[in-house]
């Protein structure tokens, strides 16, 4: 019998595949379909700190959300209520999700600084979330704000959220840190129970006809996994926090690669948006077949088997990789 079980954030999961935060997960019937297809846990769509601030000012109800009524500095914030049900509706979503499925439900907060809104984490906990994923996203666009200040801001946020609640906290970050391994170890020390690598950032495009800057969304493809594999393979030897991969996992092969790199779980969104929720059942069946083919008995036994500590040549994850790739072009 192949054992697909794993531990993530202190939660015992039946397999290592989690449905990551996406609009699919705002519908309770989709949560049930995800459980039927075999998802081990589900991350809800993020609630944004701006929404909580608006709610505290009395602007949470869609009927009240009339941009002209807002102060100038808040006018640009889109109405996200349809996406995640708004700050109050989000608590109801957690409650309904917990009643609808038996797998763990992970709430998600998206913000970057330790404002009053982080008290909201307590409400998410009280509503029944099994864990909280903190998606920290700050665009470093101001010339006077240094990398050290931004990193400190991230760490303070994690410390404050960690101190406010008892449920486990995972931190989802992007790949754009100069000293990624140092940042990962500091997030670990700040109290993160898990690190989710990496956010995908959607870059705005230019429309030449209208001369407008337009938002674009392209779903991921498997090659994006490599950035995650490399960093998980390096970081997994230094942190106690559980590691999750998000970005570029589309097949059972991708998932097994993530586990061998050192991830406790691998998350999926693009693949489910492309092929439908039922596709997950196929991926899990393929994962079992793949494990048998390689004589792997359990996920826990092979986790980290190819991280930097365990491969024969640890330098393949660093500069040597670049030189080897260039040489391979000459063959
Ligand atoms: C339409 C869409 C909405 C998303 N919304 C969120 C969100 O609210 N919060 C979040 O942390 N990630 C969000 N994500 C990112 C996904 O959770 C995931 O990290 C990303 O898509 C990379 O994984 P993938 O390659 O499996 O798609 C969203 C992704 C998509 C495609």
Q: How confident is the model at residue 73 (pLDDT cuts 50, 70, 90)?
A: low
Q: pTM for the complete prediction?
A: 0.93
**Ligand 1 pocket, residue 268 CB under 6 Å:** yes
**Ligand 1 pocket, residue 53 CB under 6 Å:** no
Work out the average pLDDT over 95-115: 94
Work out the average pLDDT over 308-322: 83
| Number of domains into which the chain is organized | 1
**Ligand 1 pocket, residue 21 CB under 6 Å:** yes
DSSP conformation class of 46: P
Q: What is the pLDDT of residue 331?
A: 75
List pLDDT tens digits, range 166-210: 999 999 999 999 999 999 999 999 999 999 999 998 888 999 999
Q: What is the pLDDT of residue 318?
A: 83
Res 2 pLDDT > 90: yes
Residue 304 counted as domain residue: yes
Q: How confident is the model at residue 323 (pLDDT cuts 50, 70, 90)?
A: confident
Res 273 pLDDT > 50: yes
Res 58 pLDDT > 80: no
Q: What is the pLDDT of residue 70?
A: 61
Work out the average pLDDT over 12-37: 97
With the most atoms of ligand 1 within 8 angstroms of its CB, the residue from 21, 84, 252, 265 to mutate is 21
Q: How many residues does the chain have?
A: 331
271 CA: nearest ligand 1 atom: 26
Residue 150 counted as domain residue: yes
Residue 296 counted as domain residue: yes
Q: Which of 47, 19, 38 is nearest to 288 (CA)?
A: 38
What CATH number did the domain enclosing 197 receive? 3.20.20.70
Q: What is the pLDDT of residue 297?
A: 97
Phi, psi of 190 (to 5 degrees): -75, -5
Q: What is the mean pLDDT of the chain?
A: 91
Res 71 pLDDT > 70: no
Residue 39 counted as domain residue: yes
The residue whose CA is least distant from atom 17 of ligand 1 is 21
The larger pLDDT score, comparing residue 130 to residue 72, is at 130
Residue 1 counted as domain residue: no
Res 14 pLDDT > 90: yes
With the most atoms of ligand 1 within 8 angstroms of its CB, the residue from 22, 23, 198, 218 to mutate is 22
The larger pLDDT score, comparing residue 198 to residue 215, is at 198
Residue 48 counted as domain residue: yes
Q: How confident is the model at residue 289 (pLDDT cuts 50, 70, 90)?
A: very high
Q: What is the pLDDT of residue 63?
A: 47
Buried/exposed 153-188: b ≥16 CB within 10 Å, e otherwise: ebbebbbbbbeebebbbbbbbeeebeebeebbbbbb
Q: How far away, in angstroms, is 150 Cα from ligand 1 center? A: 23
Q: Which of 51, 57, 55, 56 is nearest to 83 (CA)?
A: 51
Res 67 pLDDT > 90: no
Full residue range of the structural domain in which residue 89 is found? 6-328
**Ligand 1 pocket, residue 172 CB under 6 Å:** yes
Residue 192 counted as domain residue: yes
Res 149 pLDDT > 60: yes
The larger pLDDT score, comparing residue 331 to residue 228, is at 228
Write out the two tokens for 114: 């330790």
Residue 154 counted as domain residue: yes
Res 60 pLDDT > 70: no
Q: What is the pLDDT of residue 216?
A: 84
Buried/exposed 321-331: b ≥16 CB within 10 Å, e otherwise: eeeeeeeeeee
Write out the two tokens for 248: 């570029």
Q: What percent of the chain has pLDDT over 90?
A: 73
Q: What is the pLDDT of residue 304?
A: 97
Q: What is the pLDDT of residue 75?
A: 62
Res 84 pLDDT > 80: no
**Ligand 1 pocket, residue 25 CB under 6 Å:** no
**Ligand 1 pocket, residue 269 CB under 6 Å:** yes
Cα(311)–Cα(315) distance, integer angstroms: 9
**Ligand 1 pocket, residue 270 CB under 6 Å:** yes
């Amino acid at each position: 019998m192949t054992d697909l079980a794993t531990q993530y954030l202190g939660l015992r999961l039946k397999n290592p595949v989690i449905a990551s935060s996406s609009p699919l997960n705002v519908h309770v019937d989709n949560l049930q379909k995800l459980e039927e297809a075999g998802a081990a846990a589900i991350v809800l769509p993020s609630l944004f700190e701006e929404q909580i601030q608006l709610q505290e000012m009395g602007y949470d109800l869609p009927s009240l959300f009339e941009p002209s009524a807002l102060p100038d500095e808040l006018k640009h914030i889109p109405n996200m209520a349809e996406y995640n049900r708004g700050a109050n509706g989000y608590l109801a979503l957690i409650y309904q999700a917990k009643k609808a499925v038996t797998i763990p439900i992970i709430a998600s907060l998206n913000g970057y600084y330790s404002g009053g809104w982080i008290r909201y984490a307590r409400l998410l906990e009280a509503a029944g979330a099994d864990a909280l994923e903190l998606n920290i996203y700050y665009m470093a666009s101001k010339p006077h704000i240094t990398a050290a200040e931004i990193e400190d801001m991230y760490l303070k946020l994690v410390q404050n959220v960690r101190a406010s609640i008892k449920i486990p906290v995972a931190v989802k970050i992007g790949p754009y840190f100069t000293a990624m391994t140092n940042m990962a170890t500091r997030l670990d020390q700040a109290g993160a129970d898990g690190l989710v690598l990496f956010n995908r950032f959607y870059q705005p495009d230019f429309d030449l006809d209208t001369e407008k800057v337009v938002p674009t969304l392209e779903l991921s493809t498997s090659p994006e996994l490599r950035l995650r594999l490399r960093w998980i393979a390096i970081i997994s030897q230094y942190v106690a926090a559980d590691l999750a991969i998000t970005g570029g996992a589309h097949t059972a092969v991708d998932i097994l690669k993530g586990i061998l790199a050192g991830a406790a779980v691998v998350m999926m969104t693009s693949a489910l948006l492309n092929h439908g929720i039922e596709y997950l059942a196929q991926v899990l069946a393929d994962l079992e077949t793949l494990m048998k083919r390689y004589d792997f008995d359990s996920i826990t036994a092979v986790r980290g088997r190819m991280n930097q500590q365990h491969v024969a040549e640890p330098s393949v994850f660093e500069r040597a990789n670049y030189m080897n790739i260039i040489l391979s072009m000459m063959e």
